Chain A
Amino acid sequence: MQLTVPGEADERKLMLEQAVDAVKAGDKQSYEIIIKQFERQMYTYCFYILKNHTETEDAVQEIFIRAYANLHRYSSRTSFSAWLYKLAYHHLINLKHKKGRWLRLIEHYKDQQRQEQLPLPDSITQKLLIHLTIEERHILLLKAVEQYTFEEIGGIMGIGTATVRKKYERLRKKLIERAGQQGARVHGTISEANKTF
């Protein structure tokens, strides 16, 4: 899914730029090519921020619709991918602001409960991410889902490259520490889960 071969990445970039131009020229259907290129990664990014599949589906759709509506503002000076994720980042930040603290607390509790009752394949990661601040989570997710460089992440989040690097280093330490502590317990959860399925 991830394109790591340089030639392939260039090809993808070119294809995306062509699709963007086509959409701008009025070929609406080409937008589907763009969505298909990003929907899965975008889903992952939103899911680990919102922690809820319904909201994630809504958010992913809203992000792509907004990107479509604002496509005329995009210029190829930046990569389309980074432009799209910048829009996504701001959308997610706005969603979180709107939800308010109280609701978040309830949902957090509900999430915890659900995870304990029904361990999901990604629950280990979910549990780990709980220990990160929202900003750290964005950095980690952007690095993970699209394998962005610190510079690109900085561009998306509107902070300096050095700051991103420093924050990443901090979150890395946090995670490794937690992963070590949780190792045994998480392992136990999986065994139990295996029994019930």
Chain B
Amino acid sequence: MGQYQRQTKHSEMDAIEQRIREAAVPKRELSTYIMNKIGENEMSRVTRTRGSNAKPSIFKKTAIAAAVAGVLGAGTIGAGFVSPVMAETLKKIPGFGVIFSGTSDAAVEEAIQQGIISEPGQSVTHDGITLKLINLLYDGTRLSFLIDRDGAPAEAETLSLPWALRDTPEDQLPKGYLDHPVLLVNGQEAAPITSGSYGDYVSKGDKNVYYSVDWNDVNLPDEFELTVQAKVSRVAETFEFKVPVKLDQRAVVLNPNISKDNGSFSYTVKELHLSPVTTRLVLDSEGPVPQSPEQTGDYHASMVYYEIVDDQGNELEQVRFGYWNQKPKTQYQVNELFPPLDSTTKSITIKPFTLTVKNDDWSVVGLVEDSKGNLSAGQESNRGTRTYLKDLEVTIPINQ
């Protein structure tokens, strides 16, 4: 401090400015989170904080565990229709419900045959913590994998750093929190992970924590070496997994370029990716979101969401459903994952809809939440009361 006081007035100012520059450092990189929000494909769920911090944020905080519970529920329901032989196979895939949400047993069987899913089962132990890369899915349009953790102290109950501890210096944190992994393709750093989530799954009667990732929009070759590098709090070494990935058949990409217009709002279906385990819908929309009479006054219409219905009348829901604390924009690029279509599907109908949102607290009409503001398991398919935009429905032929 003595030295500081001897400095000239201007250099004192420089010192203050330098201190400002170097002082407030974010605890974590926000870029991944922001990219997630922009992609609108994160498992956004409502955990509203009320009271002194009740400032409506542009988007709702995520409570991934709750959303994942719902996904698991869906997986279990699916498993009810599984043949005994298939059931045996499925049981061997850890975290099945997480990585294959909305996927039929037939689809998984096909995926196994096509080499889409692999079970590397690699584990790495550093400093008493073991991370295991238990399965990996790559179908040419998405890459998903599951990591689980063992050996963490009881106080690090969750796998991710809890929100409340995000400002705590690392040396004061419990050991064992997993940071978002970095992915390398053939040794080169690839595009950042677009959406990752933490949760629990139950296997062999134990509760395990896992990290699952869906990696979108990447132009990956059919064959490559994937490196997954993960950092864990208070463990100096990086956990590294290297997995060879080889795909026999990529997802089929259709470019329908079919548009629908109601005079003010229009959208164009740009791409449809089809694989045994995934449907990806890519579309652009333009224009103000149509408002129904119920969506005026104290309420407004949300952004437009899209439901897919196949020619057998089966409804497909987008896998990740984001709620935004923001009035809808006039331009969107939608890029969402849906469960796979049956290989016999000849056409699909896209049914656009909106939710009705209350202006003053961003609550969604018809959305059932528990006292903590989370969706309870089983409510996943609800997602709020839908206003279908019938004049904007479009049917797209599928020539696989």
Contacts and interface: CB of A to CB of B under 8 A. Distances in A.
Nearest to B15: A179
Contact of A179 (B12, B17, B191, B331): B12
A31 B34 CA distance: 10
Given A35-B35, A68-B38, A44 B23 contact: yes
A101 interface: no
Nearest to B20: A144
B167 A53 contact: yes
Interface stretch (B52-60, B130-138, B150-158, B225-233): B52-60
B164 to A, nearest CB: 10
Interface stretch (A12-20, A78-86, A122-130, A153-161): A122-130
A44 B34 contact: no
Contact of A62 (B12, B23, B52, B57): B57
Contacts of B32: 32
Given A31-B38, A53-B167, A54-B53, A40 B26 contact: yes
A193 interface: no
Contacts of A98: 55
Contact of A35 (B24, B27, B34, B58): B34
A57 interface: yes
Contacts of A28: 35, 38-39, 217, 333
Nearest to B163: A54
B52 A103 contact: yes
Contact of B55 (A29, A41, A55, A65): A55
B58 A145 contact: no
Contacts of B27: 53
Given A43-B26, A57-B30, A176 B9 contact: yes
A158 B329 CA distance: 27
A65 B329 CA distance: 12
A29 B34 contact: no
B8 to A, nearest CB: 10
B5 interface: yes
Contacts of B26: 39-40, 43, 56-57, 60
A65 B38 contact: yes
Nearest to B33: A61
B55 A125 contact: no
Nearest to B37: A65
Given A54-B53, A128-B16, A35 B30 contact: yes
B61 to A, nearest CB: 9
Contact of A58 (B35, B38, B58, B166): B58
A175 B16 contact: yes
Contacts of B21: 1-2, 41, 44, 144-145
Nearest to A98: B55
A134 to B, nearest CB: 15
Contacts of B85: none
B39 A179 contact: no
B365 to A, nearest CB: 24
A59 B331 CA distance: 22
B55 A99 contact: yes
B25 A40 contact: yes
Interface string B306-338: 000000000000000000000001010100000
A5 interface: no
A64 interface: yes
B57 A125 contact: no
A2 B21 CA distance: 9
Contacts of A141: 20
Interface in A21-45: 26, 28-29, 31-32, 35-36, 39-41, 43-44
A187 interface: yes
B73 interface: no
A125 B9 contact: no
A124 B19 CA distance: 9
A146 B247 CA distance: 47
Contacts of A62: 57-58
Contact of B31 (A39, A66, A103): A39
A64 B34 contact: yes
B29 interface: yes
A107 B51 CA distance: 12
Contact of A65 (B16, B58, B166, B331): B58
A106 B20 CA distance: 24
Nearest to A179: B12
B192 A172 contact: no
Contacts of A179: 12, 16
B217 A29 contact: yes
Contacts of B31: 32, 35-36, 39
Interface string A97-112: 0110001001100000
Given A55-B53, A57-B26, A143-B17, 7 more contacts: A1-B21, A28-B38, A28-B217, A35-B31, A36-B29, A106-B52, A140-B20
6 contacts: A29-B192, A35-B30, A64-B34, A65-B37, A98-B55, A121-B23
Interface of A: 1-2, 26, 28-29, 31-32, 35-36, 39-41, 43-44, 47-48, 53-58, 60-62, 64-66, 68-69, 95, 98-99, 103, 106-107, 121-122, 124-125, 128, 140-141, 143-145, 172, 175-176, 179-180, 183, 186-187
Shortest beta-carbon contacts, A-B, top 4: A122-B23, A144-B17, A47-B24, A144-B20
